[in-house]
Structure 1
Amino acid sequence: MAGVEALLADVAIVGAGVCGLALARALHARGRSLVLVEARARLGGRALSRRCEATGQMLDLGPAWFWPETEPRVAALLDELGLASRPQHDPGDALWLTDPDRAPERRMAPGGVHAGARRIAGGAQRLVAALADALPAGSLRTGSALRRLRDRGTHVELELELGPEGGEGGGTRLLRARHVVLALPPRLAHERIAFEPPLPAALAGMLAATPTWMAAQAKVVTTYARPFWRQAGHSGNAFVRHAQAMLGEVFDASDDATEAGALGGFVALGAAQRAEFRRGTALLVESQLAQLYGAEAQHGGRQHLLDWADEPWTCSRADRAGPAALPQADPGLRLAHWSGRLHFGGSESAAHGAGHLEGALEAAARIARALAPAADGAGDDAGNDGNEDSAAEARAAFAACVSARREQAPSRYRQHLERLLSSQQPQQPTQRALLATAEQVYSEALDALDTLLPGLGAGRAGPAQAGRHALTPVLLAVFDGWNRQLMDAALAFNGSACALSSFPEEHRPDAALQRAIVLDLAAAWREFALALNARLLAAGARPGSDGPGSHAEIARRPA
């Protein structure tokens, strides 16, 4: 029989990856009681660093890079926690191996192969440890896999399967919480958790359709006593594009805090092929590195391999069976369900930075706002603070923030495009870079709104009409014409961009692609407008009737 605990917390967070840890830290700082449940014995999810005993280097076998200009949440959090970062070693050259019987060709990449990427000094595990250090005592349960959720009306019941690493000796345990956050990949939630009552078919379909970033990939890092490739004039960057490739991409993974060196790489084989070649993997990796960098790469190295497809708390059956794909969650996953008691988090649920550390932090911030609105200045008293002069100043500050982001947007687009092109396997780079730019601007605008809410006088702005707050059209007006302006600037840049020489269809996208981009931008705008309106309604504590057609009314004028 399952053990039962009394009402344990305001919030139960399932998944102690970066999203779950950051959310737990934010809720604890805002005075909310919580419990953080993790199926593994360790914390961090895909953020995993291991130490090479031979060289002392910390090696990132999960996410390693972030881009400060396009992923500002990561940069800001590292500053807040006092964690250093350093640039990815990237002099701007790369070896290309397109024929297994020929020597690699050296090519230059203006601006660098990794487009300004940085790494957390000491590995991503330092971020995990710093977030975990902020958790309240007794709030963490490892070795506890969620199997079933039951909506009990006033609370949610969690049925956990306990593993030996959890210290419970197996069995099951029932917990209760007023709110539950599933801070894990949507596909894992779909495949591994039973919901009572069952989720609506549309919501279940959203979970099943959202790919898990890195889930079916494998990463290997080989360490050496010294970075001999640098001394030979190579950057450590390489791309192998032939049918017999073992590593599709190679990069310098050296920990510059030591004198040792390391070459990292992403395995080119699919999950099923990797299983077939497992016994020969080490030899094949050595052979390919030797073909790139000479005999010294084949001797004296120590390999550290992590196949994420073998990680049951990362990779779902659908991820393992299907092709690798970029996550782009349906906006419905960013809504609360079960009358506000159930939230979906994890990096894949984010509007901006999905699949990356940035997306994990954005998802955490979104859910923290929903579960602790008082800390954001919400409520009738906060909405009535100040006078009309202070409200006008707050509106002007919001407009100034948006205007600055509008001016920065073309540059941000180029940064997103360069990053996509640096992957060497871009898909619809113009469309994806434009959408990423819009989502980043909207995310930063909502952050600015949260800061300014106490002074906006949301409670004095008059009653909501058809679900729309009186301030909503005022604040949205600063975006008038932006979608078209952004798209025109992007297409003008594309027309003369040398980086797109291999993608002639992107120089001048045809009518069908332009239409697809317009629809993507319109959908992002609609979600942003609804989110802004919801914040104003909450801050004013005067929710209006959300009748038929009100959503269309809120976002009726596209940016």
Structure 2
Amino acid sequence: MALVEALMADVAIVGAGLCGLALARTLHARGMRIALFEARERIGGRVLTRRCEATGQPLDLGPAWFWPDTEPRIAALLDELGLPSVAQHDPGDSLWLTDPNREPERRDDGPGGVHAGAGRIAGGAARLADALAATLPPGCLRLGQAVRAVRDRGAFIELLQDGGRLLRARRVVLALPPRLVQARIRFDPALPAGVSDALEATPTWMAAQAKAVTTFTHSFWRDAGHSGNAFVQHLQAVLGQVYDASEGADGGAALGGFLALDAAQRRNFQRGLPMLIDSQLAQLYGPQAQHGHQHFMDWAEEVWTCAEADRDGPPAPPQPDPLLRQPQWAGRLFFGGSETAAHGAGHMEGALETADRIAHTIGGPAARHAPPASAMAPGSADDALAAFGATVRTLRALAPERYRQHLTRRLSGQQSEQLTQRALLASADQTYSEALARLDGLLPMLAAGAGALERGGRHAFTERLLAPFAGWNKELMEAALHFNGTSCALSNFPHEHRPDAAMLRAVTLDLAAAWREFALELNARLLAAAAPQEPA
């Protein structure tokens, strides 16, 4: 017989990665009763920091980088929590090895470096997960508790755990990669076919990858003028990309790398992998690179990260379907996780944006993203509208440079598919994300404004808030195409250097879809702020 827990949570969150932790923190601060479930015996999801016993330095075996210039939410959260960051080391030349029988070629990556301004959290990315978890009340976080099914029971949703335990909540957030939701959780009633298809079709970032970090007492590669960045592009490659993973001047030295072998190959060569990794590092940086301490993480072996579709299919960046950002079951079931984000999908930034989006839908604007009082306009609705318009004009002016930043990041990361299309969409999504964050700080003034009532599903201020964006899609595309036509880096990609009509149409449709979603979200936030708050 199933054991039913008596306590009814306002919101049950499944998955204690960054999205789940950040969402739990926000909703708890608003007085809601939260239950946060994690199948693993640790928090963080794909965020995993280990400490090298030999050198004492922290090592990120999951996500490590964020880009302050294009990922504002994580930069702001680190500042709020008092967590310092360090710049990713890029100075020096990179090495390119295209023939296993020859010496690597040295190349100058220019002033931007390979990682285009990336930063890392000092002490490891797990410090962010720990800081978020520390804000939660006792009993909220439940480790080692996998949820296997969710059932709509009208007044509440049941969650079925291993061992037959049933729990009840008014709302449920599945803060997991979409493919894991599809593969690991049963739904009663079944999800619509289109939603199931979208879950299955969304790749999980890093899911089938493996990462190796080797520590040393000294960064000898820097002494030789190397940045630590290396790219190995031949059929015998073991590490496809190498980078400097050192913590800092006093934090030890390390080289990290992503394995070029797929999941099946890694299993076949499992016993010999340490020797193969040592050998390749030595070929790149000399015999000193053979005497480090190796740390290895194969994410394809993690059942709560990697679904079969990720393990068996080709690696691909997530292209989230907007359908996954829509709640199900009359607004009581939500899909979370970084892969559902409009901006930063697959990154730590995407996890935070998703948490923010769901928090707005469930409980109104998030105070965490509001600007300081000194930056806010006086309290009238007209002042708020003017302040938002000024923000939009600033964001429009920044957008062409951000397009170039997104393009550079993709080129640096050897991502050559659909460069223009993806960089333009990333720039638009970033702009909309920051516009919504600014709107959050103005919602109290807008909600109190005279005449700010719902009219046929549209808030009275929606049109005025959207007006400053008029003509922006065309303006952004024209700026991007002008840059492409003058870029030497893109001259090797004819379809990007001079896009044809088919590509331009695809980009236009993508930007139009992003605009529609932003407009709907802006309107929804206005209506939610104006509506009476549901009692906790």
TM-score tier by shorter-chain length is over 0.9
Q: 1:449 aligns with which of 439, 443, 467?
A: 439
Q: Distance in 1 between matches of 2:45 and 2:388?
A: 36
Q: Deviations over 1:62-103 (max 9, x none)?
A: 001000010011110000000000101101521000111111
- The answer as to 2:340 corresponding to 1:349 is yes
Give the superposition deviation at 1:339: 1.1
Partner of 1:435: 425
- The answer as to 2:212 corresponding to 1:211 is no
Q: 1:418 aligns with which of 398, 408, 417?
A: 408
Give the superposition deviation at 1:536: 2.1
Q: Distance in 2 between matches of 1:500 and 1:217?
A: 28
Q: 1:504 aligns with which of 466, 488, 494?
A: 494
Q: Distance in 1 between matches of 2:4 and 2:161?
A: 10
Give the superposition deviation at 1:459: 6.4
Distance 1:532 1:458, change over 3 A: farther
Distance 1:338 1:257, change over 3 A: farther
- The answer as to 2:276 corresponding to 1:290 is no
Partner of 2:371: none
Q: Is the 8 A contact 1:149 1:158 kept in 2?
A: yes
Q: Deviations over 1:272-306 (max 9, x none)?
A: 111111121111111111110011112x2111110
Q: Deviations over 1:490-548 (max 9, x none)?
A: 11111112222332321111111111110100000010011111122223339xxxxxx
Q: 2:250 aligns with which of 254, 258, 262?
A: 258
Give the superposition deviation at 1:470: 2.5
Q: Is the 8 A contact 2:149 2:161 kept in 1?
A: yes
Q: Distance in 2 between matches of 1:376 and 1:50?
A: 33
Partner of 1:478: 468
Helix, strand or coil for the counterpart of 2:146?
Answer: strand
- The answer as to 2:316 corresponding to 1:315 is no
Map residues 135-150 of structure 1 onto 2, 5 A cutoff. Answer: 135-150=136-151
Partner of 1:118: 119
Q: Distance in 2 between matches of 1:411 and 1:92?
A: 25
Q: Is the 8 A contact 1:8 1:35 kept in 2?
A: no
Partner of 2:523: 533
Q: Distance in 1 between matches of 2:394 and 2:337?
A: 29
Q: Distance in 2 between matches of 1:357 and 1:15?
A: 14
Q: TM-score, normalised by structure 2?
A: 0.95
Q: Distance in 2 between matches of 1:138 and 1:283?
A: 45
| Identity rate, percent | 67
Q: Bigger CA drift: 52-61 or 258-267?
A: 258-267
Q: Is the 8 A contact 1:39 1:145 kept in 2?
A: yes
Map residues 32-431 of structure 1 onto 2, 5 A cutoff. Answer: 32-110=32-110, 111-161=112-162, 171-256=163-248, 258=250, 260-298=252-290, 300-373=291-364, 390-431=380-421
Q: Is the 8 A contact 1:458 1:536 kept in 2?
A: no
- Letter in structure 1 aligned against 2:61: L
Distance 1:396 1:259, change over 3 A: closer
Q: Distance in 1 between matches of 2:230 and 2:321?
A: 35
Q: Distance in 2 between matches of 1:481 and 1:466?
A: 25
- Letter in structure 1 aligned against 2:438: A
Q: Is the 8 A contact 1:369 1:376 kept in 2?
A: no
Q: Distance in 2 between matches of 1:24 and 1:534?
A: 21
Which consecutive residues of structure 1, in runs of 5 or more, have no partner in the other structure? 162-170, 378-385, 543-559
Give the superposition deviation at 1:374: 7.0
Give the superposition deviation at 1:352: 0.2
Distance 1:462 1:116, change over 3 A: closer
Q: Distance in 1 between matches of 2:8 and 2:272?
A: 49
Q: Is the 8 A contact 1:148 1:193 kept in 2?
A: yes
Q: Is the 8 A contact 2:25 2:135 kept in 1?
A: yes
- Letter in structure 2 aligned against 1:46: R
- Letter in structure 1 aligned against 2:70: T
- The answer as to 2:20 corresponding to 1:20 is yes
Q: Is the 8 A contact 2:72 2:434 kept in 1?
A: no
- Letter in structure 2 aligned against 1:96: W
Q: Is the 8 A contact 1:459 1:539 kept in 2?
A: no
Q: Distance in 1 between matches of 2:142 and 2:44?
A: 13
Helix, strand or coil for the counterpart of 2:460?
Answer: coil
Q: Distance in 2 between matches of 1:313 and 1:195?
A: 18
Give the superposition deviation at 1:144: 0.5
Q: Deviations over 1:456-494 (max 9, x none)?
A: 246633654442223222111111100000010011111
Distance 1:443 1:100, change over 3 A: same
Q: Distance in 1 between matches of 2:68 and 2:452?
A: 40
Q: Distance in 2 between matches of 1:311 and 1:3?
A: 29
Q: Distance in 2 between matches of 1:306 and 1:537?
A: 45
Aligned length: 523
Partner of 1:166: none
Q: Is the 8 A contact 2:359 2:365 kept in 1?
A: no
Q: Distance in 2 between matches of 1:396 and 1:374?
A: 20
Partner of 1:553: none
